[in-house]
C-alpha cells in the first residue's frame, strides 16, 4: 500500500510538471527562505552546480567550465530569481491624477524573461498591462519594473499574470487593472512535445476590465502579435 501511494504521488508530481499546472496563486516559499544571505546562497548553489556537472561527466578543470558553477550561482541569486527577494521589490511610486485623465492607460509589449518552475527552463514573451485611474497614476517605467520583478522567479504564467495585476491594484488603490501575457515556454518548445511554434496566452481582468466593452477596448489596443523573432 505504501509503495502504491508513493507511485501515485510520483505520477501526480509528473502530471503537474508535464501539464504545467499551477498549484498556488502565491509563489511557494518556505518560512526560512531568507535566513541565508545572498552570498551564502551563492556558495551553496555553486557547490550543487559543481555536483550536477561532475555527475554529468563534465571536466571542471577545463578553462571554459571552471567558472561555470559560480556564474550559475550568481545568475540564480542576483538575476534570474532576484524577484524572490522582497528587498528587490520595485517602489511603486504613485502620483495624484491632477490632470484628470480618465481613459485607459496601456503599456504594451513589455518584454518578459521568466523561468518555468517545473523544469527551470526559460519563458520568453510580452506582457501588456493597463489600468484606469481611480485618482492615482503610476510611472510608466514602474510598470515594466513590476512585470520584471514578478517574472524573475520560478514561475507559472497564470500566477505571473495574477501577481502583476494584484500588485498594481494595491499600489493604485483600484480594481481597474488588466494584464495579458503572450509567451513561449522552452519546456514545451525544446523538450517534451517540442512544439517550437506554439505560445501561451494568459489574462487577468479586474474591475471595469471585466465588462465586455472595456475588455474589448483593451484587447483592440494591444492586438497581440505572436512573432517573437526580435526577442
Q: What CATH number is given for 90-222 in this structure?
A: 3.30.1130.10
Task: Tell me which of 117, 128, 179, 204 is the catalytic residue.
Answer: 117
CB 169 within 8 A of CB 177: yes
Looking at every residue in the chain, the average pLDDT score rounds to 89
Answer yes or no: 20 catalytic.
Answer: no
CB 67 within 8 A of CB 42: no
Query: Residue 136: what pLDDT?
Result: 94
Answer yes or no: 10 catalytic.
Answer: no
32-68 residue pLDDT tens? 999 999 999 999 999 999 999 999 999 999 999 999 9
The residue with cell 513561449 is: 184
Task: Tell me which of 20, 46, 107, 116 is the catalytic residue.
Answer: 116
Spell out the long-range contacts of 97-100 with Cβ–Cβ below 8 A and sequence spacing 24 or more: 97/133, 97/135, 97/136, 97/137
Lowest model confidence (mean pLDDT) among 97-101, 201-205, 212-216: 97-101
Answer yes or no: 185 catalytic.
Answer: yes
Answer yes or no: 118 catalytic.
Answer: yes
Query: Residue 92: what pLDDT?
Result: 82
- Cell reading at 94: 504613485
Which DSSP symbol is given to 146? H
Task: Tell me which of 118, 128, 179, 204 is the catalytic residue.
Answer: 118
Residue 172: closest CA among 96, 94, 106: 94
- What is the C-alpha separation between 89 and 201, in angstroms, rounded? 25
79 confidence band (pLDDT: 50, 70, 90): very high
Partners of residue 114 on adjacent β-strands? 123
Answer yes or no: 179 catalytic.
Answer: no
Query: Residue 39: what pLDDT?
Result: 97
Its CATH architecture, for the domain 25-80, is: Orthogonal Bundle (1.10)
* 83, 87, 88, 89 alpha-carbon torsion, rounded to 10°: 80
> How do the domains of the chain map onto residue ranges?
25-80, 90-222
What is the number of residues in the chain? 231
Amino acid at each position: 500500500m505504501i509503495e502504491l501511494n508513493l507511485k501515485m504521488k510520483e505520477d501526480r508530481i509528473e502530471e503537474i510538471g508535464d501539464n504545467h499546472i499551477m498549484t498556488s496563486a502565491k509563489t511557494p516559499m518556505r518560512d526560512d527562505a531568507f535566513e541565508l544571505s545572498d552570498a551564502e546562497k551563492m556558495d551553496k548553489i555553486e557547490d550543487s552546480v559543481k555536483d550536477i556537472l561532475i555527475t554529468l561527466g563534465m571536466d571542471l578543470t577545463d578553462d571554459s567550465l571552471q567558472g561555470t558553477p559560480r556564474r550559475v550561482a550568481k545568475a540564480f541569486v542576483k538575476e534570474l530569481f532576484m524577484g524572490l527577494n522582497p528587498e528587490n521589490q520595485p517602489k511603486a511610486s504613485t502620483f495624484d491624477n491632477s490632470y484628470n485623465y480618465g481613459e485607459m492607460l496601456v503599456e504594451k509589449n513589455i518584454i518578459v524573461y521568466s523561468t518555468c518552475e517545473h523544469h527551470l527552463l526559460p519563458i520568453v514573451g510580452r506582457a501588456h498591462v493597463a489600468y484606469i485611474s481611480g485618482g492615482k497614476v503610476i510611472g510608466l517605467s514602474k510598470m515594466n519594473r513590476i512585470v520584471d520583478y514578478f517574472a524573475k522567479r520560478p514561475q507559472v504564467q497564470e500566477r505571473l499574470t495574477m501577481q502583476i495585476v494584484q500588485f498594481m491594484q494595491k499600489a493604485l488603490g483600484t480594481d481597474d487593472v488588466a494584464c495579458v501575457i503572450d509567451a513561449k515556454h522552452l519546456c514545451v518548445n525544446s523538450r517534451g512535445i517540442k512544439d517550437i511554434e506554439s505560445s501561451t496566452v494568459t489574462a487577468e481582468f479586474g474591475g471595469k476590465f471585466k465588462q465586455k466593452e472595456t475588455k474589448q477596448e483593451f484587447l483592440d489596443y494591444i492586438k497581440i502579435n505572436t512573432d517573437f523573432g526580435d526577442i
